[in-house]
């Protein structure tokens, strides 16, 4: 067991989640005692390498046996989902490298991370390599989108709805949101026909279509679907046959016009950068899941994964469990419709447990608009947890602006989340409070910003 001294109680306790133990505070408490340097490098299949250095407890420390493997594994998990990689190079005590490798081989959550990230995305099982010298860092960044000339379609695929917009020279001529339920559909034609239907409906409002751009929950490389919760109900054989090259096939059906698809978090960050006219942006979308994207100081995206839904932000031993990967304390259980649903019983809201999560969210938002104090406390809880997550993310991402959007942030809720997150930074992390500016889209950008950003992804011929 991890001692309580390494899991500090936050100064700002989430009203409905008093057991919350922020990763940022735990890591800082651990770092104050750690004296043995360690170094990690995550290597992707294309040779990109990212470095991180920290320290662990000396073997003579009474907490070392329990705390060192725990804090190393939590850090490695965060880095895997934030940065991506198929190899973790490790400079430090050899037995810690062994315990980390054992975790990815022998535990259900470790095997999930290894399969999803290393095998599905990068094509080989995860390797943990103990070494005396890390491979040199190597990374690339690329310009993203911002092409608004011509006639374009932009779409966004979420877990509860799909959105599409027709855009001509940066002006939205048509936009539409259609409810769908892709998560557990076993027939890939459900997804294919739904996406094609949205594209066809948007094209009817344009004189021609010069380019198509889209965002979706998942990981996409060169327009191939590597991993996406949207298709979790599809069998592996059907995924390989019909889903992996879905967007490449759609491009062919649309006569080979420029066609680009990215993770919805990346497009969120692009939308924020375009709307605000700034760079160094972390965008976080709180919808069916939690999507994140990062635009660096040059206005480019990196080759990081930024899948913060699965990155742990709560280190308590009995934290909320992710229903897909099975791990504890990950962002998706705090900053999404799932997070709202998790807090409804604690808020004392008498809602039918059988209601789908989108309907539960709508009901909570209606109660909030009516001045219900229970709904207010629910959103305050999300905001406090979000503030500690922002501080945690700031140790790994160099951002100056943070934008939130998504269904959970609609209405009064978004302002409550940001107000409480700002209060956390002012109370616990004043240096970050002075550095980071929070943003929420205006109503126009809420309706059209993501679609315009998606439509801008592809460069016209």
Mean pLDDT of 23-47: 96
Kindly give the residue spans of alpha helices, DSSP state H, lying in 168-309. Answer: 188-203, 236-238, 246-253, 264-276
**pLDDT above 70 (res 283):** yes
Q: Which residues contact 388 (CB under 8 A, 6 or more apart)?
A: 10, 20, 22, 23, 24, 25, 313, 424, 428
**pLDDT above 70 (res 446):** no
Under DSSP, the state recorded for 285 is E
Under DSSP, the state recorded for 323 is T
Report how far residue 318's alpha carbon sits from residue 340's, in angstroms, rounded to the nearest whole number: 18
Q: DSSP string spanning 26-84?
A: HHHHHHHH--EEEEEEEE-TTS-EEEEEEEE--TTSTTHHHHHHHHHHHHHHHHHHHH-
pLDDT band per the 50, 70, 90 thresholds, residue 443: low
Give the C-alpha distances (Å, rounded to integers) separating 130 from 68, 94, 98, 127: 16, 7, 8, 10
Res 219: pLDDT: 83
Q: Which of 142, 291, 154, 150 is nearest to 214 (CA)?
A: 154
139 three-class SS: coil
Q: Which of 294, 167, 155 is nearest to 217 (CA)?
A: 155
The CA-to-CA distance between both ends of the chain, in Å, stands at 59
Report how far residue 129's alpha carbon sits from residue 145's, in angstroms, rounded to the nearest whole number: 37
Please state the separation of Cα 361 from the chain's center in Å. Answer: 20
293-308: pLDDT as tens digits: 999 998 888 888 899 9
Please state the separation of Cα 105 from the chain's center in Å. Answer: 25
Asked whether 304 and 82 are in contact (CB, 8 A), the reply is yes
User: Which tokens is 259 given?
Assistant: 């066609």
Percent of residues, the chain, with pLDDT higher than 90: 76
Res 143: pLDDT: 77
Please state the separation of Cα 179 from the chain's center in Å. Answer: 22
The architecture (CATH level 2) of 141-461 comes to 2-Layer Sandwich (3.30)
Asked whether 155 and 199 are in contact (CB, 8 A), the reply is yes
Kindly give the residue spans of alpha helices, DSSP state H, lying in 204-241. Answer: 236-238
Report how far residue 374's alpha carbon sits from residue 143's, in angstroms, rounded to the nearest whole number: 44
* Higher-scoring residue by pLDDT: 430, 297: 430
Report how far residue 261's alpha carbon sits from residue 234's, in angstroms, rounded to the nearest whole number: 20
Q: Where are the domains of the chain?
A: 34-130, 141-461
Res 226: pLDDT: 87
Report how far residue 405's alpha carbon sits from residue 391's, in angstroms, rounded to the nearest whole number: 18
Strand partners, 402: 282, 438
Strand partners, 137: none
Asked whether 289 and 332 are in contact (CB, 8 A), the reply is yes
Asked whether 79 and 312 are in contact (CB, 8 A), the reply is no
Which of 92-96, 360-364, 441-445 comes out lowest in average pLDDT? 441-445
Res 263: pLDDT: 84
156: part of which helix (H) or strand (E)? Answer: strand 151-157
Asked whether 270 and 441 are in contact (CB, 8 A), the reply is no
Mean residue pLDDT of the chain comes to: 93
Report how far residue 175's alpha carbon sits from residue 168's, in angstroms, rounded to the nearest whole number: 12
Strand partners, 405: 285
Mean pLDDT of 186-201: 95
Estimate the share of the chain in helix, then strand, then coil, as percent rounded to the nearest 5.
45, 20, 35
* Higher-scoring residue by pLDDT: 125, 434: 434
313 three-class SS: coil
335-355: pLDDT as tens digits: 999 999 999 999 999 999 999
129-179: pLDDT as tens digits: 999 999 999 987 777 788 989 999 999 998 888 999 999 998 999 999 899
pLDDT band per the 50, 70, 90 thresholds, residue 232: confident
User: Which tokens is 239 given?
Assistant: 């995924």
Q: Exposed, middle or buried by CB within 10 Å (0-12, 13-18, 19+), for 375? A: buried
Which of 154-163, 188-197, 244-253, 380-389 comes out lowest in average pLDDT? 154-163
Res 46: pLDDT: 86
- The pTM of this model reads 0.89
Strand partners, 161: 179
Asked whether 448 and 172 are in contact (CB, 8 A), the reply is yes
Report how far residue 339's alpha carbon sits from residue 332's, in angstroms, rounded to the nearest whole number: 7
Give me the residue label for tokens 């950003």.
Answer: 453
Res 444: pLDDT: 61
Res 93: pLDDT: 98
Angle 93-97-99 from CA coordinates, rounded to 5°: 110
Res 447: pLDDT: 56
Under DSSP, the state recorded for 435 is T
Mean pLDDT of 206-216: 95
């Amino acid at each position: 067991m991890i001692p309580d001294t390494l899991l500090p109680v936050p100064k700002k306790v989430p009203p409905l989640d008093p057991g919350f133990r922020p990763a940022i505070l735990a890591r800082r408490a651990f770092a104050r005692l750690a004296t043995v340097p360690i170094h990690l490098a995550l290597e992707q299949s294309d040779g990109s390498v990212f470095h991180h250095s920290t320290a662990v407890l000396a073997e003579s420390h009474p907490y070392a046996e329990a705390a060192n493997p725990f804090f190393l594994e939590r850090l490695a998990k965060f880095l895997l989902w934030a940065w991506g990689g198929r190899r973790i190079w490790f400079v430090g005590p050899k037995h810690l490298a062994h315990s980390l490798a054992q975790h990815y081989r022998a535990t259900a959550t470790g095997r999930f991370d290894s399969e999803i990230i290393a095998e599905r995305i990068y094509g080989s099982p995860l390797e943990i390599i103990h070494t005396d010298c890390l491979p040199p860092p190597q990374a690339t960044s690329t310009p993203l989108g911002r092409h608004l000339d011509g006639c374009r379609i932009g779409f966004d695929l979420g877990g509860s709805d799909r959105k599409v917009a027709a855009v001509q020279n940066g002006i939205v001529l048509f936009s539409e949101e259609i409810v769908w339920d892709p998560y557990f559909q076993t027939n890939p034609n459900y997804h294919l026909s739904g996406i094609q239907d949205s594209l066809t409906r948007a094209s009817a409002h344009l004189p021609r279509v010069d380019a198509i751009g889209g965002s979706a929950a998942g990981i996409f490389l060169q327009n191939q679907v590597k991993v996406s919760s949207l298709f979790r109900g599809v069998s592996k054989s059907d995924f390989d046959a019909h889903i992996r090259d879905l967007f490449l096939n759609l491009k062919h059906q649309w006569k080979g016009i420029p066609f680009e698809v990215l993770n919805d978090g990346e497009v969120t960050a692009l939308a924020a950068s375009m709307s605000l006219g700034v760079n160094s942006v972390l965008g976080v979308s709180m919808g069916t899941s939690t999507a994140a994207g990062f635009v660096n100081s040059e206005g480019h995206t990196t080759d990081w994964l930024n899948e913060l839904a699965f990155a742990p932000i709560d280190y308590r031993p009995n934290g909320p469990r992710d229903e897909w990967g099975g791990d504890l304390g990950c962002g998706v259980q705090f900053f999404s419709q799932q997070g709202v649903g998790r807090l409804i019983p604690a808020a004392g809201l008498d809602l039918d447990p059988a209601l789908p999560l989108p309907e539960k969210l709508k009901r909570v938002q209606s109660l909030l608009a009516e001045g219900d104090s229970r709904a207010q406390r629910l959103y305050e809880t999300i905001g406090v947890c979000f503030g500690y997550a922002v501080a945690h993310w700031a140790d790994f991402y160099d951002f100056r602006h943070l934008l939130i959007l998504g269904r959970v942030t609609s209405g009064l809720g978004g302002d409550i989340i940001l107000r409480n997150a700002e209060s956390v930074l002012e109370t616990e992390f004043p240096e970050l409070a002075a550095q980071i500016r929070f943003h929420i889209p205006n109503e126009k950008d809420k309706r059209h910003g993501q679609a315009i950003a998606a439509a801008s992804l592809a460069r016209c011929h």
